[in-house]
Homo-oligomer: A and B are copies of this chain.
Amino acid sequence: MKQKGIKIPEATIKRLSAYINCLERLDDKGYQVVSSELLGESCQVSPAQIRKDLSYFGEFGVRGVGYTTKTLTEQIKVILGLDRIWPTVLVGVGHLGHALLNFTFFREHGYRMVAAFDSDPRKIGTEVAEGLHIQPIEELVETSNREKAAIGIVTVPASSAQSTADLLVEGGVSGILNFAPFKVKVPEHVTLRNVSIVSELDNLAYLLSSKKPRRRRKKIK
């Protein structure tokens, strides 16, 4: 067992999140116990990597046997802090925001969408997910504080990303997940993560253009 000020690789955390999904899938398939090899195959990570990742946090398996699927799932959720409810607000209900609000995975992982905001007056009041009505930006700070929002999701255009982040900070959130293609700045006590969809595509483009020169299969002449 470790976890005493030792720093955990970010990649490990990312994989832990993936393990949850794979474990749930394996559980559905009837595996009550999984080995690191089986889990590794399922989520395309080496068995050693999985064991190492888990070893940062304790001992969860039984030698010679493997891991109890359901138990391990629960334990990883505890590690990631998914054993509690995270009140979450979202700002910017465009298509992306709308998609996130209705993403059932979130609810399953403990994120509760407590409010959604948009600056477009025409959208105010619209029910965007069950029981969730769009509120004007002006109510962001007050509502966030009242609902004790812990996480703010930013899905506004780049031009208003910074002002949105500022309001969320004022609203008392501890973490911000930013989808806008603009590197916002937040006070030190607020944790920030940026998701850059364009960057992912660009990465793909790089791999395609640099790696393998390969031709499309044509009709055999």
Contact = CB atoms under 8 A, between A and B. Distances in A.
Contacts of A47: none
B216 A148 contact: yes
Interface residues of A, number: 66
Interface string A32-44: 0000000000111
Interface stretch (A58-66, A118-126, A197-205): A197-205
A100 interface: yes
Copies of this chain in its oligomeric complex: 2
Nearest to A44: B183
Nearest to A81: B209
A201 B95 contact: no
Nearest to A76: B202
Interface of A: 10, 13-14, 16-18, 20-22, 42-44, 79-82, 84, 86, 94-96, 98-100, 102-103, 105-106, 109-111, 145, 148, 150-151, 172, 174-175, 177, 181-183, 189, 191, 193, 195-212, 214, 216-217
